[in-house]
Structure 1
Amino acid sequence: MATQKRDQPVETPNGVGSVGEEHEDHLERSRAVWDRWSDHYGMSEKDFEPIRERAIDQLALEPGDRVLDVGCGPGVNFERIRNEIGADGELVGVDYSPGMLENARTRIEKHGWKNVRVRRADATTAEFDAPFDAALATLSLSVMPDVRRATETVHRSLVPGARFAVVDVRPVPSGPARVLNPLIWRFFRWYANWNPDGDVMDSIDAVFDDFEIVDTAFAGTAYAAICSKRNGD
């Protein structure tokens, strides 16, 4: 378990490092898209709940753990994670959409969670005051302007031996339904500002150890993966 050191409650869109104009343009599109959907996320929350729950199972969380939720949205993972880590743990959610964060804060206030906090940040450049015992990214990495850099941020922010669970989407990987991939690509791009140039699985596999797809849904277009940070990294 990581040492409990609280993050400063300062909201800032960007962390360290520099980004280019294309990166900033992608962030702004994502902000607009997810602000638009911030009050209409219920269907997505319900439909993806089973695969999200199975991904969280893979983290094997314990009371007192410190957990990072990357692209936390309206906080759909908060209750389950909070139940696992208890009042002595800490959950930090990061998102770039003010609309999503407003809904996340409403959820936190409704439940009275004192050890759950959110901040606005670009996950590709964010920094934290203390490392985490586990991390989770559900339906968020594939919309990042730089998937590899966001994955490296997570890796850097974890204690050695920590696990990272990812739930994300992709075109149909095999079979006759692949004929629908051009339409699926356009839908992902319109609905979520999906980044077709960022390969989530390749990034995870390159940065983390013991990468494995542990679950799929919706004809393989949704998947859950688990990986870990090697001791000594």
Structure 2
Amino acid sequence: MATETPDREHTPTNETRDPDDSQYAAHLERSRTVWDRWSDYYTMSETDLEPLREAAIDRLELQPGDRVLEIGCGPGVNFERVRSEIGEQGELVAVDYSPEMIAKARARIDHHGWENVEVRRADATTAEFDDPFDAAIATLSLSVMPDIHRAVETVSQSLVPDTTFVVVDVRPVPDGPARVLNPFLWRFLRWYANWNPDDDVVDALATVFDTHELVDSSLAGTLYTVVCEKER
């Protein structure tokens, strides 16, 4: 199990926020602006982080016919690999809030002619789904949500029992001498990704899911993977 202690100056909270709250709305709108801006350049990280994303999808242990939820799909960099696992019998439902990211994800779907991949523009903290899922994944998305804890609850409520949720995300340096870089890193993540300093992804996962395990980390612990299990 892994529960990290964040920097004291940016202590996270699991208090649920009201989507009608002005601060919540401002964060959501800024996320839309930021990720619309970066949508044309996302392919750079698509290649660089491919091994990490592939390893995360491996941990889902998907089967043909599975129904998969992706939170914060961006331009759909995970679609091809997930669909290769679930086959034509399965279904992938992906959510993102950026209209530009959605447009690029749908263009990818149209290019490949995938009929069982659907992209919805929605706030992941309040999204609702008609049918449950057999697995879920979020890569580099949860930490920019305006209410991380509620987004994690949304995922949990959308999964059937005995299923896996895999998260790949970024954070300030959790420990060691490199923590002196955190003030700079904190500002960079806020500028680059509209990172949410008030919530902690790992802590939210530990609170909501039955089990969680930090299975991989790199770059002084700033890039990490957590595997969660919903047992009931």
| TM-score over 0.5 (shorter chain) | yes
Displacement of 1:49:
1.4
For residues 141-183 of structure 1, give each alpha carbon's deviation from its aligned partner in whole angstroms, at most 9, with x where no partner exists.
0000000000000000000111000000011122221111111
Aligned residue number for residue 120 of structure 1: 121
Q: Specify the code of the residue in structure 2 equivalent to 1:140.
A: S
- Are 1:44 and 2:45 an aligned pair? yes
For residues 23-55 of structure 1, give each alpha carbon's deviation from its aligned partner in whole angstroms, at most 9, with x where no partner exists.
111110000000000011011112221111111
- Contact 1:34–1:100, Cα closer than 8 Å, also in 2: yes
Q: Specify the code of the residue in structure 1 equivalent to 2:100.
A: G
- Contact 2:95–2:122, Cα closer than 8 Å, also in 1: yes
Q: Specify the code of the residue in structure 2 equivalent to 1:115.
A: N
Q: Distance in 1 between matches of 2:220 and 2:51?
A: 15
Q: What RMSD, in angstroms, separates the aligned Cα atoms of the two structures? A: 1.0
Q: Which 4+ residue blocks in structure 1 deviate beyond 6 angstroms?
A: none
Q: Distance in 2 between matches of 1:18 and 1:217?
A: 33
Displacement of 1:210:
1.6
Q: Specify the code of the residue in structure 2 equivalent to 1:128.
A: F
Q: What is the DSSP-based 3-state SS (H/G/I as helix, E as strand, rest coil) of the residue aligned with 2:41?
A: coil
Aligned residues: 215
- Contact 1:91–1:117, Cα closer than 8 Å, also in 2: yes
- Are 1:214 and 2:215 an aligned pair? yes
| Unaligned segments of structure 2, at least 5 residues | 1-17
Aligned residue number for residue 34 of structure 1: 35
Q: Specify the code of the residue in structure 2 equivalent to 1:213.
A: L
Displacement of 1:62:
0.3
Aligned residue number for residue 144 of structure 2: 143
Q: What is the DSSP-based 3-state SS (H/G/I as helix, E as strand, rest coil) of the residue aligned with 1:137?
A: strand
- Contact 1:74–1:101, Cα closer than 8 Å, also in 2: yes
Aligned residue number for residue 169 of structure 1: 170
Alignment of 1:24-173 (within 5 A): 24-173=25-174
Give % identity: 68
Q: TM-score, normalised by structure 2?
A: 0.91
Displacement of 1:111:
0.9
Q: TM-score, normalised by structure 1?
A: 0.90
Q: What is the DSSP-based 3-state SS (H/G/I as helix, E as strand, rest coil) of the residue aligned with 1:91?
A: strand
